[in-house]
Structure 1
Amino acid sequence: MKQAIALFCILLCAKLSAQNAIQPIQDSMANYEFEKAIMLIEKEQPTEQLLLLKAKALRGLLRYDEAVTAMRQVVKKQPDNITYLFDLAEYCKVAGRLVEALECYENTLTLNPENEYAQLQKISLLLSIERYKLAHKACTELLARDTTTVALRLMANCYDGMNKLDSATVYYQKVIAKSPEDYGSVARLSRIYISTDMYNEAIELTEDYRINDTTNIYVNRQNAQAYCLNKEYKTAINRYESLVAQGDESNMTNFYLGISYFADDCFYDAYDYFEKCLKQTPESANVLYYQGRACANTFRAKEGLRHLQEAFKQTIPSNETVGKLHAAMAECYSKLPDWTKFIASLTTQLELEPDKIYNYYRIGAAYQDGLKDLDNAEKYITRYMNLYVKKHEEDAKLSGSVLLAEENTAYKAAARRLERIKKEKFWQKGTDAETQTPSTVIE
């Protein structure tokens, strides 16, 4: 009897001692004094309860990998405890160890195959690590018994990730039909519309959403971009300025707002927003190109040339891209003006893009007005007129229509220039230049 009483007293003392030890730890946790809690925990034997508290404290201090280690010790003691598996998965996710988190959910589903939370988390993780086929398979199984908007949205995300845009569109439309307030699906579907040049559909979709909510930043970004790409620049500017007023400083917003202002001939505003873009992405050839052009139109031609020269360094060589850069360089040179370099830039663009026949007219005009070289002016303007007719007469034959080149504004301007050049040459040289045939035209 005495032995039993003694044993009871020992156990009671141990229990009271443990309680006395845990209370300061719990108090520290309650007061978010995580460092103190960890220090107290490490003085005690690592019980299950203390390890749970330690993992929580480590997570609170953003020491995620250590939190995972502590939580793994708990799971090792009770590998069939679903709650602990879920906790470990969450710790793994915040630590960026997504594959390990996926293993936790799979272990949970082995213990309880019908656990819908685990199924949803598993699919979400598969999407995060871009295992779209496995996510699609899991979604198919889920949709067999669950047609909620959550399941439909996950399936839409699967098809979106696999770039099966037609199927993704169908599922996003199903989600929106059930939940018009689902801004994520509205934003994603409008993005698909924009990527496939269906700007009107994107506008209609986002405007329908905006009837009830005009503040959602994700939907408004797609709405503004659709207006910009649909060349409705004033509306795009209005939408983007509203985003800026909300505090949106994203690079995409600054870039497309700059594009909208540029297309609306508001070059100073465009310059300001492209400048913001360059602070975020100083090596973007696209931004450098447009800023170079904005500079050309805001009396900053030398600065524009620097931006364009930097764009050349960042550009993946292709005739079209490099050709556009040379055209932008010509735009800057025309504002300095430096007609020799202007002509050189347009000539280089022609070598890369022979179909840019209007460059012949611009080169001819530069020779006439800038360099006072009438022979070259006549040669290039005549070449432009001949190539214009040659380029369009075949289309006219195919369509059965009559080609009236003289009705084209640029063609008429070229004809007037050519007439003036011939008159000037007549008075300068004392020869009847007007009666000469264009036998010197370069073909």
Structure 2
Amino acid sequence: MTLDPTTLQAARHHHHAGDLRKAERLYRQVLDHEPGRADVWCLLGELCQAQGRRDEAAACYLKSLHLQPQNPGAHNNRAIVLLEQGHLDQAAACFQEALRLQPDYPEALNNLGITFLEQGRPEEARTAFREALRLRPAYPEAWNSLGKALTQLGPAEAAVDAYRQALTLQPGYVQAQRNLARLFRELGRRTEAISAYQAALRLDPAQPDLHNELGVQYLAAGQFAEAVASYRQALLLQPGHAETHNNLGIAHLHQGHGAEAVALFRQALRLWPDFPEALNNLGNALAAQGQPTEAIACYQEALRLWPDYAEARHNLGLALAGQGQPDEALVCYVEALRLKPDYPEALTNLGNAYKDQGRLDEAIACYRRALALRPGEAAFHSNSLYALLYHPG
């Protein structure tokens, strides 16, 4: 049976139109008649890769390369599959082979840089991204990749500039907008982070992780109603996400909605029973509701799961102090500070414990360290702190 000469053209048409089933059927018809067509094996590999059929895609690229080993595009495509499969060393070698065959190949340079980042080689990644951009300055994906490398290496402002350049070239580039938001978050530039998250969500509102992360920024800014709205939107999109239930509980706790907070922390723990942060937060909510015994049980379970959890250790100390166990509380504060030395709340409460024992020099030392860490938060400390500092006799 003779193959219709338009079969390959029709296969390409269906492929580009997104009708992958028809495209695959026609590609295979071509290969049944002409199994030596390296280009068609490569096209079939791309189709399989787009469907997540990585093993089949890799086999197609290998057949293509067996027939045409000097094809840089096939080496690049095979390397992408290897990268997706986590075979980083093999992926890097394939990208490098593509570049040996075609040194001016910006996509392969960008992909090699991404592989270097995955391998923990950010300096080499930066070099690859910059070379890709030398070859193609208007390459938004490479600007985004360079931003990732510079986020690790610094300077931070250069990473910001790289993400902004990616967005200038491609204003609808959600990944770059998200990366910019996360960079602002890491830098503590909260106002810019909130704006960047809002921009990312305008581009793609169906991203629960971005709604959750925006909620975290609102919470840190004291915008509790906005945080609640963001977390609720995240849960509409991803109802089974334990961390978002936990975060929404924190926001309700800040708003004084203790019963709602308890319910949310319990829901987080139903979804993820071994969730120490939710146990700690549930303990805080129960303590605020006057249930110290239940709170202590939560803190102890959190510490069983995460023995080095400084906040839970500190909160256990507070609960024990409230139950008339000052010596046990003091031990908790000391342990919390061993785990987290720059912890002003633990320093203040350890100071209070020392003061109650008459160990005023040690108390004053704790208060001074706490004030050095939070100099602008005088209301954080009790009046007795100032009495000790300014009237030590």
Same fold per superposition (TM over 0.5): yes
* Aligned equivalent of 1:107, options 63, 68, 74: 63
CA distance in 2, matches of 1:211, 1:141: 29
Q: Which residue number in structure 1 is paired with residue 32 of structure 2?
A: 76
CA deviations 1:108-152 (Å, max 9, x no partner) are 334433333333333334334444333222222233353322332
* AA partner of residue 326 (structure 1): L
Matched, 1:280 2:237: yes
Kept in 1, the 8 Å contact 2:82–2:88? The answer is: yes
* AA partner of residue 326 (structure 2): Y
* Aligned equivalent of 1:205, options 137, 155, 159: 159
Aligned residues: 350
* 1:223 CA displacement: 1.2
Matched, 1:147 2:94: no
Q: Which residue number in structure 2 is paired with residue 413 of structure 1?
A: 382
Kept in 2, the 8 Å contact 1:207–1:223? The answer is: no
The 5 Å alignment of 1:389-408 reads: 404-407=365-368, 408=370
The 5 Å alignment of 1:354-373 reads: 356=311, 358-359=314-315, 362-363=318-319
* AA partner of residue 139 (structure 2): D
Distance 1:152 1:360, change over 3 A: closer
CA distance in 1, matches of 2:18, 2:332: 72
Q: Which residue number in structure 2 is paired with residue 15 of structure 1?
A: none
Distance 1:190 1:381, change over 3 A: farther
Q: Which residue number in structure 1 is paired with residue 350 of structure 2?
A: none
* AA partner of residue 382 (structure 2): A
CA distance in 2, matches of 1:139, 1:331: 52
CA distance in 2, matches of 1:102, 1:83: 14
Kept in 2, the 8 Å contact 1:293–1:331? The answer is: no
CA distance in 2, matches of 1:119, 1:255: 39
- Worse-matched range after superposition: 123-132 or 357-366: 357-366
Q: Secondary structure at the match of 1:404?
A: helix
Q: Which sections of structure 1, spanning at least 5 residues, go unmatched?
A: 1-44, 368-375, 396-401, 420-443
CA distance in 2, matches of 1:381, 1:387: 10
Q: Which residue number in structure 1 is paired with residue 282 of structure 2?
A: 329
The 5 Å alignment of 1:48-127 reads: 48-49=4-5, 52=8, 64-65=20-21, 67-127=23-83
* 1:271 CA displacement: 1.0
* 1:344 CA displacement: 5.3
Kept in 2, the 8 Å contact 1:106–1:122? The answer is: yes
Kept in 2, the 8 Å contact 1:206–1:219? The answer is: no
Distance 1:391 1:264, change over 3 A: closer
* 1:293 CA displacement: 0.7
Distance 1:246 1:125, change over 3 A: closer
CA distance in 2, matches of 1:213, 1:268: 30
The 5 Å alignment of 1:189-338 reads: 189-191=146-148, 201-210=155-164, 213-214=167-168, 215=171, 216-315=173-272, 317=274, 321-322=275-276, 324-333=277-286, 336=289, 338=291
Kept in 2, the 8 Å contact 1:389–1:405? The answer is: no
* AA partner of residue 282 (structure 2): M
* 1:294 CA displacement: 0.8
Report % sequence identity: 17
* 1:225 CA displacement: 0.8
CA deviations 1:164-196 (Å, max 9, x no partner) are 4453344234434554543323333444565x5
CA distance in 2, matches of 1:354, 1:99: 42
Q: Which residue number in structure 1 is paired with residue 145 of structure 2?
A: 188
* 1:260 CA displacement: 0.4
Q: Which sections of structure 2, spanning at least 5 residues, go unmatched?
A: 342-361, 372-377, 389-393
Kept in 2, the 8 Å contact 1:327–1:345? The answer is: yes
Kept in 2, the 8 Å contact 1:58–1:66? The answer is: yes
Larger Rg belongs to: 1
Q: Secondary structure at the match of 2:382?
A: helix
TM-score w.r.t. length of structure 1:
0.64
The 5 Å alignment of 1:25-40 reads: none
Q: Which residue number in structure 2 is paired with residue 34 of structure 1?
A: none
- Worse-matched range after superposition: 153-162 or 59-68: 59-68
Q: Which residue number in structure 2 is paired with residue 171 of structure 1?
A: 128
Distance 1:78 1:306, change over 3 A: same
CA distance in 2, matches of 1:388, 1:79: 73
TM-score w.r.t. length of structure 2:
0.71
* 1:384 CA displacement: 3.7
